């Protein structure tokens, strides 16, 4: 049975002093976790994270990667650059990137491809809006988003991580019910199984307002392999509690 993965997404939060305090608090209480742990931080803090987390049980993660290898793409950060800071994971296709930066399924698939080419595991985010859920389109939306990544990455698909994040439950305090989350995770698992015989090795994370209070119940579901944690990853006690739930 594979270990679960708990990945924190700091979003656009952090400061040099605050980061150090948070990470030292996490390391002091972490012990030997039963799961994999990662922190996906703003790229300006990757060097700091590399120094603070080196040799620890917490992997460094980034929040975005360019689909391009190198060139005249001002403001972009390449997979090779991320590699230099020991980056193990990178988020691609987070709903905030899709919504505010108009990222398409095809672009997300290309970013996943570039991450894989650089030896970095992409955490591919998929999820529906409230309007899409109410219209009964949840499965259609998440399967379309994942299908683009499967099509572009072919036999490498077993190397990705998938994160289901219902857009209506991100940063709102709302959470999909355990049954709703498990149902969508099962749909994604079936889609991955149809794409690769190694689907069981792929982590599918839940990413909609997972917190210390609901983590254990969500993580007990058969197709939920971990969590992509937002606000709770900014509080050492809360994040450690979620990690402790990932047995």
pLDDT at position 221, please? 96
The domain 5-12+19-26+36-69+76-245 is placed in CATH, from the list 3.40.190.10, 3.20.20.70, 1.10.760.10, 3.90.1300.10, at 3.20.20.70
| Residues in the chain where the model's pLDDT stays below 50 | none
Domain ranges of the chain: 5-12+19-26+36-69+76-245
pLDDT at position 51, please? 98
Is the entire prediction scored with pTM above 0.95?
yes
For the record, the structure tokens of 120 come out as: 């970095």
Residues 111, 73: contact at Cβ < 8 Å?
Answer: no
pLDDT at position 111, please? 98
SS3 string, 163-216, reads EECCHHHCCCCCCCCHHHHHHHHHHHHHHHHHHCCCHHHCCEEECCCCCCCCHH
Phi/psi of residue 63, nearest 5 degrees = -105, -10
- What is residue 63's three-state secondary structure? coil
pLDDT at position 155, please? 85
The catalytic residues are 94, 165
Q: Rounded CA gap, 185 and 164, in Å?
A: 7
């Amino acid at each position: 049975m594979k270990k679960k993965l708990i990945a924190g997404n700091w979003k656009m939060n952090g400061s040099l002093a605050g980061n150090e305090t948070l990470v030292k608090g996490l390391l002091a209480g972490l012990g030997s976790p039963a799961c994999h742990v990662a922190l996906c931080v703003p790229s300006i803090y990757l060097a700091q994270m590399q120094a603070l987390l080196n040799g620890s049980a917490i992997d460094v993660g980034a929040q975005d990667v360019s689909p391009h290898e190198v060139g005249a793409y001002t403001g972009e950060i390449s997979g090779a650059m991320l590699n230099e800071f020991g980056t193990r994971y990178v988020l691609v296709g987070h709903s905030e990137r899709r919504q505010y930066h108009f990222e398409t399924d095809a672009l997300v698939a290309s970013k996943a491809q570039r991450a894989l080419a650089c030896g970095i595991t992409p955490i591919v985010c998929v999820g529906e809006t409230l309007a899409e859920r109410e219209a009964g389109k949840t499965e259609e939306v998440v399967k379309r988003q994942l299908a683009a990544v499967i099509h572009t990455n072919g036999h490498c698909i077993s190397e990705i991580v998938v994160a289901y994040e219902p857009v209506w439950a991100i940063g709102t305090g709302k959470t999909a019910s355990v049954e709703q989350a498990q149902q969508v995770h099962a749909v994604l698992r079936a889609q991955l199984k149809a794409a690769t015989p190694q689907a069981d090795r792929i982590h599918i994370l839940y990413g909609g307002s997972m917190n210390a209070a609901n983590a254990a119940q969500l993580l007990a579901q058969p197709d939920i392999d971990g969590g992509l944690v937002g606000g709770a990853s900014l509080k050492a006690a809360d994040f450690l509690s979620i990690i402790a739930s990932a047995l």
